[in-house]
Amino acid sequence: MHKAEMQGLEAIRQAGVRTPGIIDHFSTESISLLLLEFVASTKPELRSWQQLGKDLARLHQTSAKEFGFEEDNFIGSVPQSCRRQSDWVHFLWKERFQPLVRRCHEAHCLNMRQIALFETLQERLKTLFPSSPTPCLVHGDLWNGNVLFSHQGPILIDPAAHWSIPEMDLAMIQLFGGFHAAFFDAYFAHLPKEPGFEQRLQCLQIYYLLVHLLLFGSSYWPGIADRLDRLI
């Protein structure tokens, strides 16, 4: 997990967005350690939120040829498959939804009736995402607890970074809230919404809710069921 986090932080830093500096990383048979720069947090000002919007737009304008990442990584403590794929819908199903639905079933978080709903969602994906977009770099787990504000500006931590689409981060941001309106104004000034934006966010939020279903239990199923009902 530490190696994966280090790789994600480095990818985001290379895209021109600030992360804590990596000081050292080592492991033995019994311990693993990732030592990062200390960040003194401050209360965010309006300009800090605006800068975060600009920074995220910059990250999302960093492109690649394929979806995925150099190696598999983690979202929280949940393994995240990152095999390279050239088609977005194929990547979304094979590397995101399908492995997580399988894990939830094995953990007795989903029954066969519920799994059947995801098979229907699979058929709907090509309608929700009619063309395969250009892969971009995303943080991958961007809720408000993974942003630090300092005197130097916003800093991103704890990534699940990979090459995806911008709406992957926006889905997580809007799922749990806590981001100032100035952030959205600054972001969309650089990367405006495209038709079908809201429906696509509903779809991508299901992935994050499945992660929470696996980690924290059945209280997250109603949110998944509601979105599946709207989409299929």
What radius of gyration, in Å, describes the C-alpha atoms of the chain?
18
CA distance 170 to 123: 23
pLDDT at residue 207 is higher than 90? yes
Say yes or no to pLDDT of 27 above 90.
no
- State the average pLDDT over residues 144-163: 96
What is the pLDDT, as a whole number, of residue 28? Answer: 87
Q: Is residue 185 annotated as a catalytic residue, yes or no? A: no
Task: Select which of 55, 141, 158, 169 is catalytic.
Answer: 141
Tens of pLDDT, residue by residue over 54-108, are: 999 999 999 999 999 999 999 999 999 999 999 999 999 999 999 999 999 999 9
In which band, very low, low, confident or very high, does the pLDDT at 130 lie, cut at 50, 70 and 90? confident
What would the mean pLDDT of 190-203 be, rounded to a whole number?
A: 96
Q: Which residue has the higher pLDDT, 132 or 152?
A: 152
Q: What is the pLDDT of residue 26?
A: 86
| Lowest-confidence pick of 47-56, 123-132, 151-160, 170-179 | 123-132
Quote the pLDDT of residue 131. Answer: 83
Buried-state track 13-47, b at ≥16 Cβ within 10 A, e below 16: eebebbbbeeeeeeeeeeeeebebeebeeeebeee
pTM, two decimals, is 0.95
Helices 98-106 and 197-216: crossing angle in degrees, nearest 10, is 30
Q: What is the pLDDT of residue 180?
A: 97
Instruction: Retrieve residue 196's tokens.
Output: 């079908």
pLDDT of 216 strictly over 90? yes
Question: Mean pLDDT of all residues in the chain?
Answer: 96
User: How confident is the model over 173-192, as a mean pLDDT?
Assistant: 97
Residue 135 in this model has a pLDDT that exceeds 90 = yes
Secondary structure class of 33 (helix, strand, coil): strand
- Say which residues have a Cβ less than 8 Å from residue 225's Cβ, sequence separation at least 6: 114, 117
Q: Considering only 2-6, 22-26, 128-132, 147-151, which range has the smallest mean pLDDT?
A: 128-132
Q: Phi/psi at 230 (nearest 5 deg)? A: -70, -35
Task: From residue 147, give the alpha-carbon distance in Å to each of 13, 19, 20, 40, 91.
Answer: 14, 9, 11, 12, 27
Q: For each of the domains in the chain, give its residue range(s) and CATH number, in order of start.
A: 40-231 (3.90.1200.10)
pLDDT at residue 29 is higher than 90: no
